[in-house]
């Protein structure tokens, strides 16, 4: 099947590469000539493990191509996926759908045969209705169906998530669209991935509901961590205890500095705006957003408290800057709020991340970016573990301590056993665990 993907950001590029790996003929379209030129040279615009090899393999096989020309990309396509950005709209938090609607209008002007137009971008409920209205306005005689097919890809594990999904949600309103989507995802039938067909509006809402629920689990365990610190419990034991309940599950119950990234922050706010417009408030999600924002700032105060009464003039090494491991994404990363709190208190901040240094540089202009964790820690008063990269899970604590001015380790991901940290001479500070005697 011939497929066009409009947008070569995170969702579009991963989807296009995986569809082509299934054997479909895929053309990815993007207006950014520099990005397309780089992709044609095998240079990825994002860091995602395995993506460069996947793209190269399918380009070499002739199943995957790139272009800046929309007409070239959609010519002969049986399905056109819209995978452009839907950032938070400046000023009010609504999802900015201008890119989605603009592309829909351009597609309408190019339709020349039966086509299924699929919104892969994360969009509020009702967006598909407007996309269909635009297409029928621009091309009233065209045979076109509009489908919602939200993505459920975790940054850092996107290829595995695409090829071995928990479910594939398809919101379609007619049989022809359903059959086309069945054919597109037919290669996954061997994996017995559930293909769930719903109404278009239900599919759009499912994406937001899933992200809001996961954000709620993260925020819940973070609040339990705060309570554990006060009353003497251990949040890791509590998380294991409740996670073994099949009704709850263990995923997303790891206490830390709060959620960030490209999805949870903007999607929870966009969902709240949809609910507000519909006069159907979501009080739990509203609380989650407020608590998570406060959580990131509180982590900065936690580090300052560990530094003692006079933090001004001290040096802190932040290890891990991206919002999660295996990505270079700095969007709404907890490290940003932590850096702000430290710099406001007169602390000098050094930073290191295996992949996000270039993305961090313009966001944290005063942070001294280092080539490795030991360089960042040399002469520092405290090391703060912010992101749980594999490369930061087995540091030589003795070597780290020997190079530091003060020996303070603030472990915001509870990576290291407190006993090992203290044995290396550090004062240990974790999250949601009893204070050490």
Q: CA nearest 307: which of 334, 342, 337, 340? A: 342
| DSSP three-state, residue 135 | helix
**Rounded distance, CA 103 to CA 178, Å?**
22
Q: Residue 303 gets which letter from DSSP?
A: H
79-82 vs 115-119, strand pairing mode:
parallel
Measured distance CA(300)–CA(205) in Å, rounded: 34
Q: How many CB atoms are located within 10 Å of the residue 34 CB?
A: 10
Contact 304, 231 (CB under 8 A): no
Active-site annotation holder among 18, 28, 228, 263 = 263
Cα–Cα distance measured from residue 234 to residue 225, given in angstroms and rounded to the nearest whole number = 8
Query: Is there a catalytic annotation at residue 228?
Result: no
Rounded CA gap, 295 and 389, in Å?
21
Which residues are part of the catalytic machinery?
A: 263
């Amino acid at each position: 099947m011939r497929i066009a993907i409009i947008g070569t950001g995170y969702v579009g590029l991963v989807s296009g590469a995986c569809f082509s790996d299934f054997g479909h003929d895929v053309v990815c379209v993007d207006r950014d000539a520099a990005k397309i030129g780089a992709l044609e040279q095998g240079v990825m615009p994002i860091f995602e493990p395995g993506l460069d090899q996947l793209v190269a393999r399918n380009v070499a096989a002739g199943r995957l191509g790139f272009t800046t020309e929309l007409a070239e990309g959609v010519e002969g396509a049986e399905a056109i996926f819209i995978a452009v950005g839907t950032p938070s709209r400046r000023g009010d938090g609504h999802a900015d759908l201008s890119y989605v609607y603009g592309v829909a209008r351009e597609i309408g002007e190019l339709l020349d045969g039966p086509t299924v137009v699929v919104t892969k971008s994360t969009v509020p409920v009702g967006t598909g209705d407007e996309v269909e209205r635009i297409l029928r306005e621009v091309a009233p005689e065209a045979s076109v169906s509009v489908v919602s097919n939200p993505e459920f890809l975790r940054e850092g594990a996107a290829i595995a998530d695409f090829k071995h999904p928990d479910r594939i949600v398809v919101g379609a309103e007619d049989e022809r669209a359903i059959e086309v989507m069945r054919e597109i995802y037919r290669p996954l039938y061997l994996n017995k991935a559930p293909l769930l067909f719903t109404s278009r509006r239900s599919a759009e809402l499912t994406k937001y509901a899933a992200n809001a629920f996961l954000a709620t689990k993260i925020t819940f365990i973070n609040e339990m961590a705060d309570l554990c610190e006060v009353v003497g419990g251990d949040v890791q034991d509590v998380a294991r205890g409740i996670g073994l309940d099949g009704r709850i599950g263990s995923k997303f119950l790891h206490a830390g500095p709060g959620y960030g990234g490209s999805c949870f922050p903007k999607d929870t706010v966009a969902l709240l705006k949809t609910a507000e417009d519909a006069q159907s408030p979501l009080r739990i999600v509203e609380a989650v957003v407020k608590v998570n924002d406060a959580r990131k700032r509180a982590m900065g105060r936690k580090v300052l408290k560990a530094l003692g009464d006079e933090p001004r003039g001290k040096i802190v090494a932040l290890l891990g800057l991206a919002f999660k491991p295996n990505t270079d994404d700095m969007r709404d990363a907890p490290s940003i709020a932590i850096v702000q709190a430290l710099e406001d208190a007169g602390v000098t901040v050094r930073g290191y991340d295996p992949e996000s240094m270039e993305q961090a540089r313009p966001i944290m202009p005063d942070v001294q970016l280092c080539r490795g964790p030991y360089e960042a820690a040399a002469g520092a008063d405290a090391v703060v573990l912010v992101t749980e990269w594999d490369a930061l899970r087995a540091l030589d604590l003795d070597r780290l301590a020997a190079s530091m001015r003060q020996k303070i380790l603030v472990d915001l991901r509870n990576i290291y056993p407190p006993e090992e940290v203290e044995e290396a001479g550090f004062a240990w500070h974790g999250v949601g665990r009893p204070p050490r005697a």
